[in-house]
């Protein structure tokens, strides 16, 4: 009939280190399925856990076993047949409690099954002993009697009892033969199941190898993509640095443009002021003409000349003062124009470098 799962959970599996008998060695890389199985034909219980194609727990539960909680999420039990100690790490305390309760329940069921099998063995042994003791007594009774009639009278019940015992033995032999055939059929079924499991195991091993190859290909592809991502990150960092440089240059250009606009405004003001210079020159010429006319009239108007000398001196002084201011203004204007030319050359050079 095979084995049937009666309880299933997930946990991290550990085994005790056989060399030190102290440290735990992980038997699984991640949480795996751990199940209780019940064998109907043998009335036995097992804890089985498989990681991929590898059996990491195959422990038959006996009444002498004990499951011990060593922490809130970890428990262990010793298997003398496997000569090791298994440990299970659960994700929660509730899962550990359920597993421990199921262990105690299965342990009690295994004890009851053992007691029943012992009772059956003792009953069969008692029947065999009774049949063995009654046979000598019957023979003794037949040998003690003297006459043939007495022998016949005393032997008849013993023969009847022997016949009944022989019939029981024949029935037991027939049943045992039937059980042997049944066990042979179950053994053949188990062999076929084992063959199917072996085939499935081989297929799973082949699939594991295929997955290993695919994993290796994916890992190489991952490494290649990772290196490409690193290269792109380096390029992005360079682009960011260039953007920062461009931003700085842009801000510098804006500052220079604002300075240029200020200089152009100053140049416009200077140009407006320079437009006044021809008027001043024309006024100077007009004054000179007046002075010449006054000098010509001086000959005739000496009296007027005396009165006008003060005016002439004042006009000369004003003319000299205006010429000095004009000269200084022209010098300042020349300096500003030179500075503006230098500034434009620097700006054009900076634009060429960018």
Most confident range (mean pLDDT) of 122-126, 222-226, 332-336 is 332-336
- What does the pLDDT read at residue 122? 67
Place of tokens 């005396």: 306
Task: Please report which confidence band the pLDDT of residue 204 belongs to, taking 50, 70 and 90 as the band edges.
Answer: low
pLDDT above 80 (res 128): no
pLDDT above 60 (res 143): no
Average pLDDT over residues 189-215: 67
3-state secondary structure 139-194: HHHHHHCCCHHHHHHHHHHHHHHHHHHHHHHHHHHHHHHHHHHHHHHHHHHHHHHH
- What does the pLDDT read at residue 149? 41
Extract the tokens encoding 137: 């007594």
pLDDT above 50 (res 176): yes
- What does the pLDDT read at residue 189? 67
Q: What Å distances lie between residue 266 and 158, 259, 279, 333, CA to CA?
A: 151, 11, 21, 10
Most confident range (mean pLDDT) of 91-95, 190-194, 302-306, 349-353 is 91-95
- What does the pLDDT read at residue 61? 92
pLDDT above 80 (res 56): yes
- What does the pLDDT read at residue 190? 65
Place of tokens 């597993």: 99
- What does the pLDDT read at residue 15? 94
The model's pTM is: 0.37
Taking each helix axis from N to C end, the angle separating 148-300 and 93-144, rounded to the nearest 10 degrees, works out to 170
Instruction: Give the lowest-confidence range in 44-48, 73-77, 125-129, 206-210.
Output: 125-129
pLDDT above 70 (res 72): yes
CA 39, CA 179: separation in Å to the nearest integer? 17
3-state secondary structure 75-99: EEEEECCCCEEEEEECCCHHHHHHH
241-266: pLDDT as tens digits? 888 888 898 889 899 998 999 999 99
- What does the pLDDT read at residue 227? 81
């Amino acid at each position: 009939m095979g084995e049937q799962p009666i309880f299933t959970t997930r946990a991290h599996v550990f085994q005790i280190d056989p060399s030190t008998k102290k440290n735990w060695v992980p038997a699984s890389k991640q949480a795996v399925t751990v199940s209780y199985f019940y064998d109907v034909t043998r009335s036995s219980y097992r804890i089985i856990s498989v990681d991929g194609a590898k059996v990491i727990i195959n422990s038959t539960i006996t009444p002498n076993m004990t499951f011990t909680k060593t922490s809130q999420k970890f428990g262990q039990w010793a298997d003398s047949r496997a000569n090791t100690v298994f440990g299970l790490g659960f994700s929660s305390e509730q899962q550990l409690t359920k597993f421990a309760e199921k262990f105690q329940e299965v342990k009690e069921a295994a004890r009851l099954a053992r007691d029943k099998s012992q009772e059956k063995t003792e009953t069969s042994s008692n029947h065999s002993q009774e049949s063995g003791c009654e046979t000598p007594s019957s023979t003794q009774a037949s040998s003690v009697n003297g006459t043939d009639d007495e022998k016949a009278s005393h032997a008849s019940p013993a023969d009847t009892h022997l016949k009944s015992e022989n019939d029981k033995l024949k029935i037991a032999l027939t049943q045992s033969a039937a059980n042997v055939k049944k066990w042979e059929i179950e053994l053949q079924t188990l062999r076929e199941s084992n063959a199917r499991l072996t085939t499935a195991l081989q297929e799973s091993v082949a699939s594991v190898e295929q997955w290993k190859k695919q994993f290796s290909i994916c890992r190489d592809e991952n490494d290649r993509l990772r290196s490409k991502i690193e290269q792109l990150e380096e390029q992005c960092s360079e682009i960011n640095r260039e953007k920062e440089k461009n931003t700085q240059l842009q801000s510098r250009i804006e500052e220079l443009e604002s300075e240029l606009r200020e200089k152009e405004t100053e140049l416009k003001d200077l140009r407006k002021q320079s437009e006044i210079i021809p008027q001043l020159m024309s006024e100077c010429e007009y004054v000179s003409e007046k002075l010449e006319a006054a000098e010509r009239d001086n000959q005739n108007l000496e009296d007027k000349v005396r009165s006008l000398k003060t005016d002439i001196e004042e006009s000369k002084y004003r003319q000299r003062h205006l010429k000095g201011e004009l000269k200084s203004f022209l010098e300042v204007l020349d300096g500003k124009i030179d500075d503006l030319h230098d500034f434009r050359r620097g700006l054009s050079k900076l634009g060429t470098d960018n």
